Amino acid sequence: MTQLITTDLVELDQNLGNAPETVIRHLASKVAATGRASEVEGLFADAFAREQKTATGIPGGIAIPHCRSAAVTVPTLAMARLDPKVDFGAKDGPADLVFFIAAPDGADQEHLKLLSKLARSLIKKDFTAALRNASSQAEIVELVDGALADKPAAHAAAAPVDAVPVGAGVGAAAGSSVAGAAAGEPTTGAGRGPKRLVAVTACPTGIAHTYMAADSLVAAAREAGVDLQVETQGSSGAKALDPAVIAAADAVIFAVDVDVRGKERFAGKPVINAPVKRGIDEPDKMVQEALAAADNPNARRVPHFGAEEQAEHEAEEKGEHIGQKLKKALLTGVSYMIPFVAGGGLLIALGFLMGGYLITKYADTIVVQNSLFNLPTQFPDNAWGPLGAYLGAVLFKIGALSLGFLVPALAGYIAYAIADRPGIAPGFVAGAVAGFMGAGFLGGIVGGLLAGYIAHVVGRLQVARWLRGLMPVVIIPLLASLVASGLMFVILGGPIVAITNGLNSWLSGLTGAGAIALGVILGLMMCFDLGGPVNKVAYSFAVAGLGAATIDNQAPWQIMAAVMASGMVPPLAMALASTVLNKKLFSLAEQENGKAAWLLGASFISEGAIPFAAADPLRVIPASMLGGAVTGAISMAAGVGSKAPHGGLFVFFAIDNFLMFVISIAVGTVITALSVIALKRWAVKKTVDTVEPVPVTV
C-alpha cells in the first residue's frame, strides 16, 4: 500500500500566513508537488469549500482540513507545524498542528480506514505532544506511521479510545465497572445499572469529524460512568448498532451534519441533535444533556415518521432563528411544488403545440365527448387536424389539472416543513381554499404557514395516552384545517385576493421601461444565488402566474421567459469562459465542469455554475448577475414569451419569438463570460509574502 505521508509532505515551524486559506493552499501545493494530485487549484477549491461549510479546528491547537477531490490521485496526508498559529475556528484558540487529509473521489476502503484512524489519534494528548516535540520531518513520519500501525511508542496512553470498535460500547473497552454494567450488572448502591446511551456521528466527507466525534463522545461517557455505543456513518464503513442495543438505550445523541441513515430505528427515543463538530468540542455536555433528556418525559424525541420529517426540530436544536426557519419552510414548499408546475407546464405547452393556442376553449368538450375512435369535428383552425386537436386537448387538460395543484402543493408542503406529516392535510386544504378564493401564490404561502404553525402548536399539546394515537391522523388535521382554512375564508382571504388582483393588473399593464426594469430585477435575482432562496423566489413568482396567462394577457408568459433565459446565463457563461475563451484561468476540475455546464445551461439548470461560484464567489456571482440582468431586460423588451416553466432551449416549441430568446441568452452569456475573465485577470487578491510558492510537478 502506498505510504500516506512522506518527509516531503511535512513542514516544521513555518510561517504559512495568517489565514486557513493560505495554509490549505500551501499544503495542497505540496501534495501536487509530490505527484499525488493532478493540480493545485482543483484540490485547494475542494478543500477550502469543505472548510467553509464547517471549520476544521478542534480543541488542543489542532486543525484537520480535509476533502475528497477528483484532483487527488493518491490518498495523502500533509502536515504543518505552524509558527505563528492560525485560527481554524476551534473554540479554544488557533492551531499550530495542521493535518491536511486529501482523498481521491474513489479511495479504497483500506486507505480511508487509515485516514480516519489518524484523525482519531489526534484527540490523544500524548500523540499530539509527541508531534510538537518532534525535531525532524522523519520523526513526524515515524510518529504518524506508528499511530496508523497502533505502535505503543507513538502514543502510550492506557485504554486508548480508538480501541472501541464501531458499534461497541464503552464497557467493551474500559475493563472497569462500566463493563460489568454493560453486561447487566449493577454499579450503584441502589442496585440499578447506569444509563445507556447510543449515538450516531456523521459528517459530509466522512473521513475525520465522524470518527473524532465518536471517540470524543465515548471518552466523555466513560468519564461519566455511562454505557455509550456509537454508530459512525462515515466513508470507511460502519457497523449498524444492534437493534437490541437501541431498544435498551435511554436516549440517543445525533452528532451529524447530514441526515441520519435509518433514523426510524431510534423512533420514540429522547434525542439530542447537534452538528458533528460539537461532538468533538463539547462531548461531555452532550452526554449530560442526553442523560437529562432520558429523565425528562417532555424531552424531544425521534419521530416515528422517518429521517426527514424532523427538519424543524433539528433547526431549533441548532439554534436557527425564526427567519431561517421561515426560509426553510418556504423553500420546502417550493421544491415540492416545482414537479407539479414543471410537468403541468410542459404538458400545456405540448397541448398548445398540437391543438393550437385556442384549444383552451375546446378542451373540456373534446376530452369528454370525443375519443381516438370519435375524433372531434370542431376544433381550432391552427390545430394539427382532428387527431392533433384531440391529443392536444388531452395534453392541455392533464397539464391544467397538474398546474391546479400549484397552490395546494405549495401550502401543503410549507405546512409539512413546519409540522411534519400532520401538517400536510391542513396545508393542502388551506391551499385549496386560497385557490378557490383566487388568492393565488400569496394565499398559498399564508395558508401554508397558518396551517403548519397551528398543526405544530396542536401537536405539542399534552394529551392522555389513549388519545395520542389519534393526534396525528385525526385531531391535528381536523383542528388545523378548521382554524387555518376558517381564517382564510373569514378574515385573510379577501385582502390577499385584492393584493393578488392588484399585482396581476400592474404586471399586465407593464410596458416599455417598466417591463425592462422588471426584467433586470428578475435577472439579478435568478443569478444571485444559483438555485438558492432568491433564485427560487423569482422562479416561483414566474410559475405562479402561468395559470393566469391568456392570449389577451401575455405578461405571465413574458415573465416566465425572462426568468428562464436569465437562469441559463451563468452555467453557459462559465462553460464558454472555461472551455473556449481562456482555459488557463480555470483549474482542470473547472474545465471539466465547464464541459458539463453547456448541457446544464441549455436545459435551464442554473446549478451548473455552482462549482465555479463556490470556488470564486466574489468574481463569478457579480459577473453572472450582470449578464442575467441584461438578458432579462432584452427578453422583456422584445416581448419573448414562454408557455413552459422549464426546459430551456429544448422547449423551443413553447417559446414565442424564439430568435430573440436565443439572442438575449447569447448576449448575457458573452457579457458574463468576459466579465468573469476580466475579474480573474485584474481583480486578483494579493498573496501573502511569507508563503513560498511551491513548484508543481505532475
* Identity at 435, one-letter amino acid code: G
Contact between residue 582 and residue 677 where contact means Cβ atoms under 8 Å apart:
yes
Closest CA to 585 of 669, 672, 667, 684: 684
| Rounded-to-integer distance, Cα 452 and Cα 305, Å | 16
| Rounded-to-integer distance, Cα 28 and Cα 40, Å | 6
Q: What cell does 366 get?
A: 373534446
Buried b / exposed e over 534-568, threshold 16 CB at 10 Å, is ebbbbbbbbbbbbbebeeeebbbbbbbbbbbbbbb
Contact between residue 146 and residue 153 where contact means Cβ atoms under 8 Å apart:
yes
Q: Give SS3 for 637.
A: helix
Closest CA to 57 of 92, 103, 22: 92
Buried b / exposed e over 172-210, threshold 16 CB at 10 Å, is bbbeeebbebbeeeebeeeeebbbbbbbbbbbbbbbbbb
Angle, CA 637 vertex, CA 633 and CA 640 arms, to 5°: 100
Q: What cell does 382 get?
A: 391552427
* Identity at 621, one-letter amino acid code: I
Q: What cell does 455 get?
A: 398543526
| 197 strand-pairing partners | 228, 251
Integer-rounded Cα Rg, in Å, for the chain is 30
| Rounded-to-integer distance, Cα 671 and Cα 666, Å | 9
Could you tell me what percentage of the chain is helix, strand and coil, using 3-state DSSP and rounding each to the nearest 5?
A: 60, 10, 30
Catalytic residue from among 26, 155, 203, 527: 203
Catalytic residue from among 66, 111, 155, 646: 66
203 catalytically annotated: yes
Q: Give SS3 for 28.
A: helix
On the CB side of 215, CA atoms within 13 Å amount to: 21
Provide the annotated active-site residues: 66, 203
